[in-house]
């Protein structure tokens, strides 16, 4: 539930709770994770076409860059906020340590007609942390709460959620999660590792179960979404059953697999995978080619081009390309063979 406060002459008269789209989703719901330079507008459109998740997230976007950067920087960041109607419901994710800029970013997302706003409080990137954002907010719970409240002011009736980790150096969920719940976010997505652990150890899904218990103990309406080491939808369903999580976020499993969110596991043949790669590359060039280096697209090549005869040799050729046209010619020649 999302709180809507009625104020008259500066006095809070009463609080009404309204349902957000999050609370209307079937449980467990499945969410596409925000992955920098991966789940961009081009890839999300491919995913939506082949296996739409219950909720899409944008890549994380710097609220500071949106409002402090020059015109070119803002133009680039605004491309990260491009989406199609087929991707709904879609959530814009922002990072900053400034409540003022978080409020402005949330207001912008509302103007762009996003369905939700998420605050990144889990990114371990040193550059992000130096700004006091991302995972460093785990060490500053009061500021974290301020950011949620600021986002709500800018968001209006759009739900605000948080993506974070179980702790910074150690598991500190017992103190960290209640602080977040106190700000009444619609959802808290928890990557089941500490910042220190990065992705070097298996995700602690038992801690997700504890997060659900903490939420229930404080009688919060906030939904708990688990994240970390989820292989496919069947695995997601099992983890949701075992932990009691309302939803599961899937990230790395999406590489080379836009069919990930299908109800029944789908194994495409080689021709299908390569044709999707061509389509993906063309979309990248069409939507992002003027602001993003084509080399970014190449990180997808290994994911699409594997486990078939001649895959290694084909990848070598593809890594030498500099345009969607070159990719298409090489793949057409390969399929003819």
CA distances from 188 to 119, 184, 222, 282, 303 (A): 10, 10, 7, 35, 29
Q: Which of 146, 125, 186, 196 is nearest to 166 (CA)?
A: 196
Q: Which of 72, 139, 60, 71 is nearest to 96 (CA)?
A: 60
Q: 103: which residues sit within 8 A by CB, 6+ positions away?
A: 150, 151, 153, 154
Active-site residues, by number, are 123
Alpha helices in the chain (DSSP H): 41-50, 63-68, 71-79, 99-111, 126-130, 141-155, 173-181, 205-217, 233-243, 270-288, 301-304, 311-318, 324-336
Q: How many CB atoms lie within 10 A of CB 219?
A: 7
Angle at which helix 141-155 crosses helix 173-181, to 10 degrees, equals: 30
Angle at which helix 270-288 crosses helix 41-50, to 10 degrees, equals: 140
Q: 307: which residues sit within 8 A by CB, 6+ positions away?
A: none
Tokens of 156: 């209006």
Q: Tokens 């919060």, residue? A: 220
């Amino acid at each position: 539930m999302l709180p809507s406060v009625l104020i008259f002459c500066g006095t809070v008269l009463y609080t009404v709770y309204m349902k957000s789209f999050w609370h209307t989703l079937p449980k467990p719901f499945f969410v596409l994770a925000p992955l920098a330079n991966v789940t961009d507008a081009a890839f999300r459109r491919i995913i939506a076409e082949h296996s739409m998740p219950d909720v899409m997230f944008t890549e994380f976007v710097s609220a500071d860059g949106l409002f402090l950067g020059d015109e070119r920087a803002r133009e680039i960041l605004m491309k990260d906020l491009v989406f199609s109607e087929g991707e709904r419901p879609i959530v814009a994710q922002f990072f900053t340590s400034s409540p003022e800029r978080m409020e402005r970013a949330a207001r912008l997302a509302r103007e762009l007609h996003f369905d939700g706003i998420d605050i990144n409080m889990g990114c371990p990137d040193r550059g992000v942390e130096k700004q006091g954002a991302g995972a460093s907010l785990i060490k500053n719970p009061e500021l974290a709460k301020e950011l949620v409240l600021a986002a709500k002011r800018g968001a209006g009736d759009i739900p605000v959620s948080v993506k974070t980790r179980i702790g910074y150096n150690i598991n500190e969920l017992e103190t960290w999660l209640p602080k977040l719940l106190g700000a009444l976010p619609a959802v808290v997505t928890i990557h089941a590792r500490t910042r220190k652990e990065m992705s070097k150890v298996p995700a602690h899904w038992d801690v997700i179960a504890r997060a659900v218990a903490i939420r229930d103990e404080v009688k919060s309406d906030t939904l708990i979404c688990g994240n970390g080491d989820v292989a496919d939808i069947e695995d997601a369903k099992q983890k949701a059953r075992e932990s009691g999580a309302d939803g599961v976020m899937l990230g790395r499993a999406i590489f080379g697999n836009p069919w990930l969110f299908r109800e029944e596991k789908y194994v495409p043949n080689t021709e299908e995978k390569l044709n999707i790669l061509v389509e993906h590359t063309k979309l990248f060039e069409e939507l992002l080619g003027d602001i993003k280096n084509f080399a970014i697209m190449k990180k997808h090549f290994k994911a699409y081009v594997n486990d078939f005869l001649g895959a290694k040799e084909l990848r070598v050729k593809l890594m030498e390309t500099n345009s969607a046209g070159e990719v298409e010619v090489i793949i057409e020649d390969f399929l003819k063979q």
